Each structure stands twice: as C-alpha cells, then as structure tokens.
Amino acid sequence: MRTGTLILLFLLAAAGTSQLLGQGMKPLSLEFMLARDSPEGRAQRTEEKQFPAHKVIGNIYSVGEDTHASFLITTPQGHILINSNYERNVPWIRESVEKLGFKFSDIKILLGSHAHADHMEGDALVKQLTGAQVMALDLDVPALEKMRPGGKPHPIDRVLHDKDQVTLGGTTLTARLTPGHTEGCTSWTTKAPEGGRTYDVVIMGCIGANGRIVLVNNAAYPKIAEDFQLTYDLLRTLPADVFMGSHADHYNMVEKYNALGKGPNPYIDPEGYKNSINNYEQVFKFKLEQQRKAAK
C-alpha cells in the first residue's frame, strides 16, 4: 500500500475518530491500523504533551502524558508507579501525582511495561527521588541494563518472573509475561473496588508489531513471531473489566477521559479489551505474512 494512500486513510479515519471510537475501543480496520502505524501516523502521536491526571477506577490513577501512559496505584502503605517513561517526563509525572493530592516521595515500588526508553528510561531518576524499589521481569533485564541516561546505571532491586506477585498495602499486582514487543514485555493484572463492586483490571504491555519490526529471520530474537501469538492468546484468557496500555491510544485514554462524569465509568470496557487485542493481532498477522512472502 502506498504511503500517500495510508496518509489519506489515516486522515479520513481521524476526521471521524470521536464518533468512530466513542469512549470504548471499537474494532478498527487493518487499513486504519496500518495508517496509524505509518511514519506520518506515528508522527501525529508523539508530540508529548502533559495530560490531566485523573482517576481511572478504584485506587488506580493516570499520571502520564498524552502519548505515554503511566499509572499510580495508591495504598495506605505507600504507592506503586507503573512506567517512568522518558527521564524528561519524570517531572510531569511528579506534578501529576502531587496534583492528585499524593506525595511523590510515597512511591515505594516502581514497575514497568517493557524495556524501551519511552517507558522505563526514567527509572533511575524516580528511584533517586523516592527511594522506590525497582522491579522488572527477568527477560527484560539485559535491555534495561543498557539503558543508562546520563551514564546512570539502571536500578533493578527485584527480578520478577511470569506470575510473580507484587503486594503493597492490600493491593496485589500479578506480572504476566506478554512477549513480542520486547522479550520481557509485561502486562499487569489486579483488582479494583468501586461502587460496591470489584473489577478485574489488565494493564497491558505493548502488544503492537509496530514500525519496522522484524518478524521473520530475526537473528536477535528468533522466536519473536511465536511470542507475539502467545501474547494475544494469553491476554484473551485474562478477565478484564477495565484495561489500559503503555500508550494512550491503546485504550482510548483521551476519549475515555473526556467522557468521565457524563455517565457510567467509561474505563469499564470489557468488549473494548477484546477489540484492542484483535486490532493489534490483525496487524501482526498481516506483517508476518508479508515478511514470509518476502523471505521466500
């Protein structure tokens, strides 16, 4: 598909985005997803603007920017932060936490979604500012150790494995290995009480085979395609009333934020969870088939 066509599709789709997507994640066409993943489409989603901090559900809050998601999970014994993002974004995260009425210094545990700089580069600075224990899945440790902004070594206080639990102040998160985007890409599951009910929550790692990712004959990551499929299959087995992701557009954060206070909590979106997985899996399968043909 020509780049010009992709741009046109992206612009046409974007013009009706609010009506098309509403607050819940809807099924999106392959053409739309490819257009969004094109260089032009990606450029429109990497501006990095501070976004209003807000409550998602229960004790879970959004404290990231308009592009990269970051989550604060509060407890009586201190707080958990998921994703420090770029080091330059840490002051924004701190400001967001404090605007919600919490102390940044009360963050006791720092977790991440996957070992890419836009999600975990700020770990060293967050630890420096809060003393938080930094935890990461074992398969992402080698990549994290190479992440040294300003020459600072990347802190790792606890190495986690698939299904390990992290507990603080009565809240438990379970690490689930959802590889492909990175070898140790991690999705987090937990439960959140609200309005007399308890909701299943999944905070997905990145599940997109985006950009120029190599799915066939990848010498650095031979089983990348197998891992992506494992991730889609695993995520479908996890109960999810509420889901988030490492990027705002993975779960329609902006649309859901704009719908807050206008009816039921828009983050309660179990069908959208399934749609999001399907949306990204179709891109993976398309790219995999294209690369297999090219390899022949």
CATH of the domain at 66: 3.60.15.10
The residue segments making up the domain with residue 100 are: 3-295
Confidence (pLDDT) at 80: 99
Confidence (pLDDT) at 227: 98
User: Using CA atoms, how far apart are residues 184 and 137, in angstroms rounded to an integer?
Assistant: 6
Give the count of domains, the chain. Answer: 1
C-alpha distances out from residue 104 to 6, 66, 78, 97, Å: 42, 20, 10, 6
pLDDT profile of the chain (296 residues), mean per 10: 47 42 86 92 80 98 96 98 98 98 98 98 98 98 97 98 98 98 98 97 97 96 98 98 96 97 97 98 98 96
Confidence (pLDDT) at 39: 87
Confidence (pLDDT) at 23: 83
| 116 neighbors 144 (Cβ within 8 angstroms) | no
Confidence (pLDDT) at 155: 98
Q: Of 72, 124, 111, 75, which Cα lies nearest the Cα of 93?
A: 72
- What's the pTM? 0.93
Confidence (pLDDT) at 44: 75
